[in-house]
Amino acid sequence: MTLPIRNVAIIAHVDHGKTTLVDALLRQSGIFREGEDVPDCVMDSNAIERERGITILSKNTAVHYKDTLVNIVDTPGHADFGGEVERVLGMVDGCLLIVDANEGPMPQTRFVLKKALEKGLRPIVIVNKIDRPQADPHGAIDKVLDLFLELGADDDQCDFPYLFASGLSGYAKEQLEDEGVDMQPLFEAILRHVPPPVGDINKPLQLQVTTLDYSEYLGRIVIGRIHNGVIKAGQQAALVKENNEIVKAKITKLMGFEGLKRIELEEASAGNIVAVAGFGDANIGETITTPDDPQALPLIKVDEPTLQMTFSVNDSPFAGQEGQFVTSRQLRDRLMRELETNVALRVEETDSPDKFLVSGRGELHLGILIETMRREGYEFQVSQPQVIYREVNGQPCEPFEYLVLDVPEESVGGCIERLGQRKGEMQDMQVGGNGRTQLDFVIPARGLIGFRGEFMRLTRGEGIMNHSFLEYRHLSGDVELRRNGVLIAFEEGTATFYAMKNAEDRGVFFITPGVKVYKGMIVGEHNRSQDLDLNICKTKQLTNHRAASGDELVQLQAPVEMSLERALEYIGPDELVEVTPQSIRLRKLSKKLVKR
């Protein structure tokens, strides 16, 4: 006899507490031994996820509550990883929508909720972080209802169940005045409001691939939900490819989920989420079915990318010194391999064999790919991100973003002015009682390129900025993207304290003395609008009148640290970011320097 099943996804805006809530559910279910050392955000297993404190890849876990198997899918909260959300919503029959009790619905809440409603799911709303100061749980519920109505939810979806919770403290409750004890009310709500999976075990097998994994022993592992039929370890099966080609293979291993582990299964039936080995060339959206009567499920539709940049072989004077993989073939193979698991990514070959056009959902989406590749030992260079234009009903259109800013009151005027110059239209303005103001804008995606650094300066580092893709609209005209010129190294060598101190009044530097530079490398930002080339390798001529210790008390201004994201936002159309496992450098596209 098979256990009753509930398949549920956890969706929310970034940093509203999804992964922490999953931690609490896992602890409540008793999958950890008493005294076992369990890290926070246990589902964020990827190194970059742990460093940044965000979920990038969707992940599966399963827990037993009473006599029911609850499959839980943790999804990313950032709209740049919306492809992860879109593909896993087809695996589940319900979802938990988590909203911060203080912030209420944010741009990504709108994005993930819209996808869930389109799938016909009826969300259970969880108002999280109710134990924080300035939390307004009932206000958050009202805002969520407004969002449901705005997104066109039906009457049944608008009559959503809701709970109040604190993932960090490990409790959920139905009424605010109730005492918070544990997560049992949430488990009960899942059993009550999430329907059991539909599917006929007597029909031929149909399993849709939604996630890909890899094992050194088993090769490619596909994860998906069984929509119909029964699957058994060792049986013969067929894979219906995207082009309707049929590939036959044997199921070498069948696994289910229990807590954070995968357990071997002999068989599984409709409604279960399982991992299957044996199909080495399966891709996301394809269907595993019976070889006698192969029936494919509809392919998973994912929103198209909105941003693109060129990845090319590094051709700087320092090329090949720090990377392990530096050739165009290695770069191409790695990008093609990424396509197998990253459904929202597109890679196109160009006229040049050394350049590839890579399209994604946003700067963060592409930035994570670049960061992952450099950690793997790849060395390459990338161009400025550009938005992707499309024709809609014969009219040229561009992507627009929904932008929410949370800023100190004294920064409101500056932010509105700058976004106006970037063609942003203010939709709403809410003044909070804590000296902060929330501003809502609709703005062309190209108007946001390079804005984050400027926003941090305008708000003195105190502003919070969130945005997500809204829709394609007609072109909005020229966007004013103002930026100062750059300081460019005049020759190859090592930057010296003496030369940098003499040029300090020209602008701010991105490097420190002792850094190796080459001709055409960007070393700082000029305090004027034009570019300026500098000899920053010039050394001080020492004589018996000038002691070498004369500089000891003189200090340079602190340089501006150029992280990968900051560099991608900063560069102009005629500039590149050189990416190696050890360095992030900025350089001019052309090696010709500005005339003195």
Please give the C-alpha separations between residue 79 and each of 83, 113, 165, 364, 387, in angstroms, as whole numbers. 8, 11, 24, 9, 16
> What is the residue whose two structure tokens read 């992860």?
84
> What is the residue whose two structure tokens read 């460019």?
488
State the Cα–Cα distance between residues 190 and 584, nearest whole angstrom.
Answer: 47
13 is in an annotated binding site: no
201 is in an annotated binding site: no
The structure tokens listed for 326 are 């530096």
210 is in an annotated binding site: no
44 is in an annotated binding site: no
129 is in an annotated binding site: yes
130 is in an annotated binding site: yes
Strand pairing report for 253-258 and 273-277:
antiparallel
3-class DSSP state for residue 459? coil
DSSP tag of 91: G
Strand partners, 257: 262
State the Cα–Cα distance between residues 77 and 278, nearest whole angstrom.
Answer: 32
State the Cα–Cα distance between residues 274 and 267, nearest whole angstrom.
Answer: 10
7 is in an annotated binding site: no
State the Cα–Cα distance between residues 283 and 209, nearest whole angstrom.
Answer: 7
182 is in an annotated binding site: no
Strand pairing report for 124-128 and 162-166:
parallel
State the Cα–Cα distance between residues 522 and 534, nearest whole angstrom.
Answer: 10
State the Cα–Cα distance between residues 6 and 101, nearest whole angstrom.
Answer: 27
Instruction: Let me know the angle formed at the C-alpha of 440 by 148 and 10, rounded to the nearest 5 degrees.
Output: 40
CB atoms within 10 A of CB 472: 19
Residue type, 130: I
478 is in an annotated binding site: no
Instruction: Let me know the angle formed at the C-alpha of 33 by 32 and 38, rounded to the nearest 5 degrees.
Output: 55
Binding residues for GTP: 15-20, 128-131
Please state the residue numbers annotated as binding site: 15-20, 128-131
